[in-house]
Amino acid sequence: MSETNSPSLFMKINKCLIIILIIAIVLLSFGAIYFHFLLADVTEKVELLKNVEIDLHEVNEADDYMLTARRWVYEVNKIIVYYALILAFINGIYFLFNRQLKNFIRPAFLILIGGLVFLYHHTIFFDSKLKTFNDKNGVEWFYYGYQIDQHIGFQRNPLFVASQAIAYFDEYKETNDEVTLTYFRNCIDFLIEDRVIEGKATYYTGDFPLVAYDEPVGWKCGLTNSRVILAMMAAHEESGDSTYLDIAHSVLYPFTIPITEGGLNIKLSDKSWWFCEYPKPNGDSPMVLNGMLSILIAMHKYYDYSNDPLAIKLYEKGLVALKEKLPLFDDNGFSYYDLKKKSAGKSYHMIHLSLLKQIYAIEPDPLFEEYRIKWQAYATEQGW
């Protein structure tokens, strides 16, 4: 009696579980459709942002809502996949020990496999995301999306805009394309409008939190200042207007101010100053190698172009600090990103090699070549 009832009970329970799975898949489909409409709405708003016809806040608000919906649907997707796998496993075990029920079990397996394929395609679909783009003026809106657990969305990053300006000018010198020149000038105009002036010093501050270093809105960046200096050099070269060199000097000035006073340097001694990519007024600033190297290279380029005595003075103090600290960035042939012992990873390790080569070309100190060769050997060993 129990042998007859047991399969019947299993089949009833199994049927209910499969029905639940099918209902869940249908509901997930409606969630996917809803997400599609949200994505289409954000995409439409992005097009308006490209044409400077909509406020940034409205775009980021829609993006946040869309990403939140995607995250919830994705989590439900994972639960359904686990549920389906467990159900398939139970059916598989039962099928092995009860072959007389194979006519009932096989359709269940087909449903489960179909559901898993369906969920797989949805998972791919949910990986859709927005991308960085340039507006009609050629100025970049960088897409951050979520950083850890905080929504950043689209933002202007003056570091990237300054890099854009330099790239546009280099392209213009090769092509004489007037559109490229216009984009270059638009980037320079943005950098002039975006600056924050504090006495003799000019800074560029983040309009969004720097989540990686737990910095609120308003954070400063030494690397940004150095890149803007190069952009202003390009603007002066293109126009001959000395105003751009005046701005470059004021952007250089924060490197004379200690981080404890809101500036961009850590004074290791009177002759040794470290320039911070991410200064923190509380003194807990990460000493970032690629930032320091890039800043020193920019200072020297600016001095060569303008003969600004402040630039060479800062460069020489920074060079002393770099020589003191460079060995501390070595991790048995690999390199650290900063002196908090954060790994450089492949990308920044390769950037370190490039920057060390550049600084050695300016200042042929054996120490720079020693670590470049050592770190290059590691990269070669890894096949990079």
What's 13-26 look like in SS3? HHHHHHHHHHHHHH
Identify whether the C-beta of residue 257 lies closer than 8 Å to the C-beta of residue 201: yes
Locus of tokens 């000097």 = 249
Identify whether the C-beta of residue 375 lies closer than 8 Å to the C-beta of residue 333: yes
Identify whether the C-beta of residue 273 lies closer than 8 Å to the C-beta of residue 314: yes
Using alpha carbons, list the distances in angstroms from residue 208 to 60, 77, 194, 357. 12, 31, 14, 33
Q: With 60 as the cut, is the pLDDT of residue 6 above it?
A: no
Identify whether the C-beta of residue 155 lies closer than 8 Å to the C-beta of residue 208: yes
Locus of tokens 């050629």 = 138
Q: With 50 as the cut, is the pLDDT of residue 375 above it?
A: yes
Give the residue with greater pLDDT, 150 vs 94. 150
Residue of 342, 322, 337 lying closest to 375 (CA atoms): 337
Q: With 60 as the cut, is the pLDDT of residue 101 above it?
A: no
Listed in order, strand segments (DSSP E) in the chain are 133-134, 140-143, 146-147, 150-151, 154-155, 196-198, 201-203, 265-269, 272-275, 330-331, 334-335
Identify whether the C-beta of residue 200 lies closer than 8 Å to the C-beta of residue 253: yes
Per-residue pLDDT tens digits for 194-250: 999 999 999 999 999 998 888 899 999 999 999 999 999 999 999 999 999 999 999
**Mean of all residue pLDDT scores within the chain:** 89
pLDDT of 1: 42
Per-residue pLDDT tens digits for 275-331: 999 998 877 888 999 999 999 999 999 999 999 999 999 999 999 999 999 999 999
In a 3-state reduction of DSSP, which class is residue 202? strand
pLDDT of 118: 63
pLDDT of 3: 47
Domains of the chain: 2-126 (no CATH), 195-381 (1.50.10.10)
- pLDDT above 70: percentage of residues in the chain: 88
| Cα distance between residue 373 and residue 384, in whole Å | 14
Beta bridge partners of 274: 266
Q: What is the model's pTM? A: 0.84
Beta bridge partners of 4: none
Sequence-distant (≥ 6) Cβ neighbours of residue 250 within 8 angstroms? 197, 200, 201, 202
